[in-house]
Structures are given as C-alpha cells and as structure tokens.
Amino acid sequence: MIAYLDFGAFDSLYRRDGCTAADVAALRKSVYGREVTLALSIHHIEEIVIARRVSPQALSAQIRFTLSFASLRYLLKPSADLLIDEIRSYAASGAAGSPFLHGPAADAIISGIGELIESDGEEIAEDFVEALELARARRGELALMIDRARAAAAAAPEGDRIVAAMRALAGAAGALAECDQRGIGGLMGLRSVRMAAGIASEPPEPLAADHAIAAAARAEIVVSADPRIRELVARLSLDGLTSRGLPEFLDAIRSA
C-alpha cells in the first residue's frame, strides 16, 4: 500500500498531535516491513527547511523523523512540474510520465539533506536551498494554472466543467493541440490531471493543491487533516485512490 501524508498529517505525526508514540511505532514497523510505503514530495522538505521557524537541531530532528518513514529515492517533483510533464507525456505518447525528481535538483536535495543531518542542522548548502526555493516558487505557477482552469470551468456548462478545466490545463502546459488530437478525454485517466481539474472545479478556497496532485500521481491513499481534501478525493472517484484522516489511517495500521 502506498500512502501519501500531506504536510499537515506528517506534522501532526511528528508532534504527536492526535496520535501516540505507539501509533508512530506501529506505522514505522509497517514501513520497515514493507507493508506500507509513504510517498514523499519535495514540498514536504521545503515546508520544513524554508520556513526554518525552529532551532537547527529541531530542524534536523524533523528531517530525520520524516526520512525514517519515506525514502528520497522516490522523491516526487514539484507538483507544477509533475502536472505539466504528465500532460506533455500524454500529448507525446498517450502515457503518463515519471512523477519522480531526478537530475541536478535531486542530487542537490540528497546531498543537502545529508549535510544538514551530519551538521545537526547547522550547515545548509546553497544549492540545496535554491532547489527548495524553486520548488516553493513552482507553487505559484501551479496556482496560476489552477486559476486559469477555474476560469475556464466557471464559463462552461455544469456538465462540461471538468473537461473545460482539463483543456485549460493542457493549454497552460503548451500541449492543447496535441491533447485534442490524441483525445482530451484521455487525460481523465491521469489521476494528477483529474485531481487538478477537480480542484479547479471547486470553490476558490485555500487548499493544499500541490500535495493533492502529488498524492494522486503516486499513492493509493491520501492521508490529510483537511476534510475538504478527503471530500474532494471521494467526489472525484479516482481509480485506485481513497482518502482518510490521520487517526483513521493509524487505526487501520494498528488493526492490520
């Protein structure tokens, strides 16, 4: 089972907010036993490091805690890049692309985290920070894409809003003509795109769209403290994707 804990759920786990040390131990046992895989996005890392509201030692401790559950080997891209790459891959080949971060950015994250942990949070490499700041900036790009799709959905008849949103997302990715030629309906099979279009069809309220899109690309279960995320996943009926709150998820882990 692949689960995606959004940042709020991960943070609650770290702070033992609504869970116990026994819950944490049970989840870690399931991860080490390969019964559960926790997917990790670059957004998890940048939310911890860029904010830097804690001491270096506490920063290092939270990073170590996070990585005790999830591997950097399969770190998900910034969600704007993930979404654009999925759309362009569909336009080119009819199939989804890889959601994982690779190349210099991935190398900077891995080496930067290693240095941060080794120095107990005292040393943070410049290229590591630059990669995380770029990931944070990409949230703004994602927000613009969602806004563009929301405007298209709002102008469409109610039954056509999801398709209108998808066409707007394909346009933002520079691949509308190719997607139209291949069949815009094929984007419905890409869960990350379907999630983004679903978010664009919702009222414009603050929502962790980046985590929801990353989760849709990789996971089987989205674990979120935000009931709106859970409700959206349920309404979209994405094939193979369900949602739970953290207490419910931990209850299921203990009962397994």
* Per-residue pLDDT reduced to its tens digit, 75-94: 999 999 999 999 999 999 88
Q: How far apart are CA 72 and CA 50, in angstroms?
A: 18
pTM of the model: 0.89
- How far CA 40 is from CA of 69, 155, 161, in Å, comes to 9, 35, 31
* Per-residue pLDDT reduced to its tens digit, 151-189: 999 998 888 888 999 999 999 999 999 999 999 889 888
Q: Which amino acid appears at position 225 of this protein?
A: A
Which ranges of the chain does DSSP label H, i.e. alpha helix? 7-15, 21-32, 42-49, 56-67, 79-93, 104-118, 126-155, 161-172, 176-182, 191-200, 209-218, 227-236, 246-255
* Per-residue pLDDT reduced to its tens digit, 121-130: 888 889 999 9
Q: Which residues pair with 222 in a beta bridge?
A: 4, 243
Average pLDDT over residues 223-243: 85
